[in-house]
Chain A
Amino acid sequence: MRRVYVASVGYTTVGDHWNKSILDLAVESGFKALAGAAKIKPEQLVVGNMFSGLSSRQEHLGALVANGLGLTGLPAFKVEAACASGGMASLTAFNMIRSGQIDSALVLGVEKMRDLDPGEISQALCTAESAEYTQFFGASFVSLNAMLARLYMYEFDVTRADLSAFPVIAHRNAVHAPHAQFRKEISYEDVARSMIISDPLRLLDCAPVGDGAAAMLLVSEDVAGDVNGPLVEIASAESATNRFSFYERDDMLDFAATKLAAHKALKSSGLSISDVDYLEVHDAFSAVASLSVEALGLSKRGQGARDAREGKYDCDGGLATNCFGGLKGRGHPVGATGIYQIAETYLQLTGKAGENQAKDVSVGLAQNIGGVDTTAVVHVLKRN
């Protein structure tokens, strides 16, 4: 198996891009990534996206984006795994390069959310869940995560303030991130007083709705010499699935997919979780961030939120986590999120993170999930 490297990254800001279509966003991020390694001509385009069919009445994104980039002829397809679409697109391209099938790929995640009204966005996000037994009964994606959060608080005596830790940290980290959706600090009181969406979850417990696209060029070790900029190696990329609906699981608070994907990814990279010094976790909802760090073995069961509150996941002094704000602060254009996570890890490991730079980081882990830990994709990245 050959080594695979991230050669360059590019992304749009995350937010309300009223003037840009799904293709405009994709092309903007793609051009930036291509410009970062001008000698590399990608042999494959992989697009990660969750619901372009619903948001833009547009499928066939592979060919659409390839044409949009002026790369007609390039093999291209879309990968979909709900909110893990971006991570899964990267994993797919990684495996194609690693196996020797191709030497380079452009991986691009994009989501256009704001063309829908709020009810339609909820509906679109909910397509990650069972149409027959979850959507049918009116359970939105937020409501599922709210029930998960209530159970988490009940089982482990987690307080409102504990739950607020991840969102507060995320906003603090996003302040200096030029591409972040929310560059404004929030306090514990702000979270506790924000509007209830689905109790116990409040507005500031939930990742925002936003448009965005992120892209990266992946190359094999055989063509890495053509890249001028710094390289980050994708040491491994693995995924796993859990029982489809979280209420079908014997232990609803066990993020088994994350556990399994992380275990496999660390094993195949020859590293252990203690080697990881930069972390991107899928903090779509406050309790999901906590359950994720627990599943990764970084916090004990029921301790994730409290550990965050005590500074364990601070970018300055803790295990540097989501230092551009994560899904909560940078934003969560669903199908693009997994690529933003890897792109941001690339920036951290190459020392290009500017004001968001975490100190002395060399091994990064990015966890991207679809559904309520129904699909998990974990990438381990190493500074070259």
Chain B
Amino acid sequence: MSISYWRLKDRYYRLIGVSCEDCKSEFFPPVHVCRRCGSRKLVDRDMPRTGKIVTYTELRETLAGFEDQEPMLLCIVQLENGVKVLGQIVDTTVENLSIGDKVKAVFRKIQEHGSSGQIFYGYKFVKA
């Protein structure tokens, strides 16, 4: 995974998605074909770093490698440009979350491969 992570670092670190050169629609995760107009001319584009919660959950049985982070809050955020992104929401508790809450993207540690492997960073969200 260290190599796929390396390939995606700008997506993870900077929320760089794509924008359609023909119809200006924006996408994250990036797409190869514009969902709106079918164009294949897509260029990298910074996504807005703020948005609102569309839905969320508190996960109590995490995937392997995330056990230390239990319980883990996950949400789907609709960014200012309408694009929906999945990520963890941190520095809060499930009791303090509601659909519609404003959030912003932050830079956090996503997972690490034990104490000797690589550390993977990326976006998460906190309440704005």
Report if A and B touch in the complex (beta carbons < 8 A): yes
Interface positions of A (Cβ within 8 A of B): 118-120, 122-123, 126, 130-140, 142-143, 146-148, 150-151, 154, 195-201, 243, 245, 247-248, 252
Q: List 19 A-B contacts (CB under 8 A).
A: A119-B61, A119-B64, A120-B64, A122-B62, A137-B74, A143-B57, A147-B56, A150-B57, A150-B99, A151-B55, A151-B99, A196-B60, A198-B60, A198-B61, A199-B57, A245-B29, A245-B86, A247-B76, A248-B84
B126 within 8 A of A: no
Residue of B nearest to A201 (CB): B57
B55→A148 contact, CB < 8 A: yes
Query: Are A137 and B86 in contact, with the CB atoms below 8 A?
Result: yes
Please state if A139 and B60 are interface contacts (CB–CB under 8 Å): no
Q: Are A118 and B61 in contact (CB under 8 A)?
A: yes
Residue in chain B with minimal CB distance to A196: B60
Chain A residue at smallest Cβ distance from B7:
A132
Q: Which of A120, A143, A151 contacts B74 (CB 8 A)?
A: A143
> Is B58 at the interface (CB under 8 A from chain A)?
yes
Q: Please give the number of chain B residues whose Cβ is less than 8 angstroms from any Cβ of chain A in the complex.
A: 38
Determine how close the nearest CB of chain A comes to the CB of B68; give it in whole angstroms: 11
Given contacts A139-B74, A150-B56, A198-B57, 13 further A-B contacts (CB under 8 A): A119-B62, A136-B120, A137-B88, A137-B124, A147-B55, A148-B55, A154-B99, A198-B61, A201-B57, A245-B29, A247-B54, A247-B76, A247-B85
Which 9 pairs across A and B sit closest by C-beta, in order of nearness? A119-B64, A146-B57, A138-B66, A151-B55, A147-B55, A143-B59, A198-B59, A133-B29, A247-B84
Which of chain B's residues have a CB closer than 8 A to the CB of A247?
Answer: 54, 76, 84-86
B63 neighbours in A (Cβ, 8 Å): 119, 122-123, 126, 135, 138-140
CA distance A22 to B69 in the complex (A): 33
Contact B61 A138 (CB under 8 A): no
Q: A134-B86, A137-B88 are in contact. Are A147 and B62 (CB under 8 A)?
A: no
Q: Is B111 positioned at the interface, with any CB of A under 8 Å from its CB?
A: yes
Q: Which residues of B contact A123 (CB under 8 A)?
A: 63-64
CB-contact partner of A150 in B29, B55, B88, under 8 A: B55
- Enumerate chain A residues within 8 angstroms of B99, measured Cβ to Cβ: 150-151, 154
Complex CA distance for A317 and B120, rounded to whole angstroms: 54
B94 at the interface (CB under 8 A from A): yes
Question: Separation in Å of the A275 CB from the closest CB of chain B?
Answer: 35
Nearest residue in A to B98 (C-beta to C-beta)? A154
Please give, as numbers and ranges, the residues of chain B lying within 8 Å of A126 by CB-CB distance.
Answer: 63
In the assembled complex, how far is the CB of residue A335 from the closest CB belonging to chain B, in whole angstroms? 20
Q: How far does the alpha carbon of A136 sit from the alpha carbon of B65 in the complex, in Å?
A: 10
Collect the chain A residues with CB atoms within 8 Å of residue B67's CB. 119
A131 and B99 alpha carbons, distance in the complex (Å):
26
Whether A140 pairs with B62 at a CB distance below 8 angstroms is yes
Contacts of A199 in B (CB 8 A): 57-58, 94
